[in-house]
């Protein structure tokens, strides 16, 4: 079970970040929203995805096809593998407009030129004739964004969109994405492992661990008052540019569990500093701790760490 009982919501114009380490199920969650999990072996066993009043999981394949790339668009980590190397960039950016809006190729290509200009590709009209290999990594990701935004989707899912890019290019691309979603009022789901990126760009955050959401809340709350021991651990183990020098990092001991052999209780229990007997026996569910801030944990980690500090 790669993803188990994951719930979240995202409003128009809002950026929700899904944070987690490899194997936490963040990408599988995104692919499920788009119904892109290959079946077999994968299966969405239960749940619902409500989008603009409809349950996406109940749509026929043809209906889903009409949603994908039109109302919901996805941006992947590696633009080179998601772009077709044998077609010009313009053709690929224009394709959704032709497919979903019934535009002629001429009109679609025109729209592609316009979109490439909007993602600030210099000399966009001429560059639309180029092939993906003639683009740099950053330009390819810009082209992917142009393609995703071509039909003015209401929801954009970006799965590690800048992980393969250099840091100066990363900030260009994410600022652009943020600006364009703000302009069009689209919601953005940003999937990332980078806590810095989340702090800079997200309004709300869901932290995933071993296929479940363990904590969710506004970015302010999550960073200021993390409630789940895993979130607290993550915050303590990343070195920060503004941190006092000479302090030792506090790693989270151990490793994430094997998803095929999940512990019966809380998945984080084997690595948790605050573990109790109950954590090993029973699985905690998400519960509100105030102001829409939710955590899946039995322990009041803050009270516990105060006790530890006193002792």
Partner 1 sequence: MPMPSLRSTPMPDATPLLVVEDLKVHFPVMSGAVLQRQVASVKAVDGVSFTLNRGETLGLVGESGCGKSTTGLAILRMLDITGGRIVFDGEDITGHGRTQMQPIRKRMQMVYQDPFGSLNPRMKVVDLIAEPMIVHNLLPSAKARADRARELLALVGLRPDMADRYIHEFSGGQRQRIGVARALSMEPELLICDEPVSALDVSIQAQIVNLFQDLQQQLGLTYIFVAHDLAVVRHISDRIAVMYLGRIVEIADRETLYKRPQHPYTQALLAAVPIPDPEIEAMRPQIAVTGEVPSALRPPPGCRFHTRCPRVVDRCKTDEPALRSLGGGQMVSCHLV
Q: CB of 103: closest distance to partner 1 in angstroms?
A: 31
Q: Phi/psi zone of residue 245: left (φ > 0), alpha (ψ -120 to 50 degrees), beta?
A: beta
149-188 positions binding partner 1, by CB under 8 A: 166-172, 175
First-residue to last-residue Cα distance in the chain? 40
Establish if 291 lies at the interface with partner 1 (CB under 8 A): no
**CA triplet 241, 243, 248: central angle to 5 degrees?**
115
Q: CB of 161: closest distance to partner 1 in angstroms?
A: 14
Q: Given candidates 41, 53, 85, 251, which one binds partner 1 under the rule CB under 8 A?
A: 251
Q: CB of 235: closest distance to partner 1 in angstroms?
A: 7
Quote the CA–CA distance of 156 and 188 in Å, as a whole number: 5
Establish if 136 lies at the interface with partner 1 (CB under 8 A): yes
Establish if 134 lies at the interface with partner 1 (CB under 8 A): no
**Contact present, 67 and 51 (Cβ < 8 Å):** yes
Element (H, E) at 90: helix 89-101
DSSP track, 115-160 = HHHHTT-TTHHHHTTS-GGGS-HHHHHHHHHHHHHTT--SEEEEES
Q: Closer to partner 1 by CB, 72 or 146: give it.
A: 146
189-248 positions binding partner 1, by CB under 8 A: 193-202, 219-220, 223-224, 233-235, 237-243, 245, 248
Q: Closer to partner 1 by CB, 147 or 165: give it.
A: 165
Element (H, E) at 94: helix 89-101
Q: CB of 101: closest distance to partner 1 in angstroms?
A: 32
Judged by CB under 8 A, the number of residues near partner 1 is 47
Residue ranges in contact with partner 1 by CB under 8 A: 21-22, 136-139, 166-172, 175, 193-202, 219-220, 223-224, 233-235, 237-243, 245, 248-253, 255-256
């Amino acid at each position: 079970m790669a993803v188990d009982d994951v719930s979240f919501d995202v409003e128009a114009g809002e950026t929700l970040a899904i944070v987690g380490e490899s194997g936490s199920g963040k990408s599988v969650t995104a692919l499920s929203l788009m119904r892109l999990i290959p079946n077999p072996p994968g299966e969405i066993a239960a749940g619902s995805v409500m989008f603009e009043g409809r349950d996406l999981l109940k749509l026929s394949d043809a209906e889903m096809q009409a949603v994908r790339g039109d109302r919901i668009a996805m941006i992947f980590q590696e633009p080179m593998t998601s772009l077709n190397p044998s077609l010009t960039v313009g053709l690929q950016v224009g394709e959704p407009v032709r497919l979903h809006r019934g535009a002629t190729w001429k009109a679609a290509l025109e729209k592609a030129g316009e979109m490439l200009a909007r993602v600030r590709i210099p000399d966009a009209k001429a560059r639309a004739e180029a092939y993906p290999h003639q683009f740099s990594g950053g330009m390819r990701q810009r082209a992917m964004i142009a393609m995703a935004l071509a039909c003015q989707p209401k929801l954009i899912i970006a799965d590690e969109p800048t992980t393969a890019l250099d840091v100066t290019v990363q900030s260009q691309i994410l600022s652009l994405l943020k600006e364009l979603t703000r302009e069009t009022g689209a919601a953005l789901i940003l999937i990332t492992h980078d806590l810095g990126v989340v702090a800079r760009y997200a309004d709300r955050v869901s932290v995933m661990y071993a296929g479940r959401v363990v904590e969710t809340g506004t970015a302010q709350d999550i960073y200021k008052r993390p409630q789940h021991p895993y979130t607290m651990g993550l915050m303590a183990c990343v070195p920060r540019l503004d941190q006092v020098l000479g302090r030792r990092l506090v790693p989270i001991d151990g490793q994430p569990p094997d998803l095929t052999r999940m512990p019966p209780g809380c998945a984080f229990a084997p690595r948790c500093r605050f573990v109790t007997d109950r954590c090993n026996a029973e699985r905690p569910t998400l519960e509100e701790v105030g102001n829409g801030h939710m955590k899946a944990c039995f322990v009041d980690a803050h009270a516990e760490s105060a006790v530890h500090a006193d002792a």
